[in-house]
Amino acid sequence: MATLAARTAPPVVTSQRPLSRRRWFAEIGWRHVVGVAAVIYAGFPIVYVVSASLSETGTLTGSNELFADVSLANYTALNGTLFWTWMGNTLVIAIATAVGTVLMGAAAAYAFSRFRFTGRRFGLTALLIVQMFPQMLAFVSIFLLLLGLGNVVPILGLNSTLALICVYLGGALGVNTFLMYGFFNTVPRELDEAAKLDGATHAQIYWTIILRLVAPILAVVGLLSFIASFGEFIIARIILQSEDNWTLAVGLYGWISQLLEANWGLFTAGAVIAAIPVLLLFLFLQKYIVGGLTAGSVKG
């Protein structure tokens, strides 16, 4: 009876004293203050650009009073320019670069993670050293290389979209391979051994098992590569010489490069629209970035 009474007895509720305002602010409140300050700091430039894009004056000084006048004239004027051609060029280059970077980086990371071969450690060290130097440092060499290569293979010379994609892919190995290499090492080797016992080849293991488990890092690398190539300016400006082949970064800069003829209204309107693909891609890949698909892979 005593045991039954103990089981049916209601739980004892211990009352907790509410935190004082000073203690609440010291433990929790300051985080809200920092968060609000960070949101304001990051959001104000976006609000300012949107306000400038809706202003008909075509200058940034006219948008000091946010949303003083609202008009879609700048967005309508984009139809009479090469903006949408630049958008198409940029999307083709960014998507091709992102896909190529993911495929090349994943293959290299899988080789470094799963195989033991001569020069493996030297290769990892070389990638670590190469990634310390940004690609734009070699823009003179890239220009001279494409200038000479265009005489032999015109499609890979200057003013070629394919040449620009190849240049971007040339810098794909490096930090991306190291990111993937660390993630590949978290995938248990028992999965590979179990697949080999079932008769699977290395290619089947790579394409059907490993790539599915490392989807989060593939999404991160693809997103970073897309953003980097989408907004890259220096190398694109050097290689792409005709206006029809320009990317968004080069084209938008052309609208404000001359001080007396700068049209900030078109520039800000184009910048707002140019941010939409990156935002949509981030929202689409967010579930892969946040989720950890390797959790519980051994038990599964």
The full set of domain ranges for the chain reads 22-71, 81-290
Predicted TM-score of the model (pTM): 0.82
Model confidence over 71-113: pLDDT tens digits? 888 899 999 899 999 999 999 999 999 999 999 989 988 888 8
Q: What is the pLDDT of residue 9?
A: 52
**pLDDT exceeds cutoff 80 at 172:** no
Q: Which H or E run includes 121?
A: helix 120-130
| Among the listed residues 179, 204, 208, 164, the one whose alpha carbon sits nearest the alpha carbon of residue 108 | 179
pLDDT higher at 187 or 17? 187
Q: What is the pLDDT of residue 248?
A: 94
Query: How far apart (Å, rounded) are the C-alpha atoms in residues 106 and 122?
Result: 19
Tell which CATH classification among 3.30.1330.10, 1.20.120.1200, 1.10.3720.10, 1.20.190.20 matches the domain 81-290. Answer: 1.10.3720.10
Model confidence over 262-292: pLDDT tens digits? 788 889 999 999 999 999 998 888 877 765 4
Residue 174, helix vs strand vs coil: coil
**pLDDT exceeds cutoff 80 at 8:** no
Q: What is the pLDDT of residue 122?
A: 87
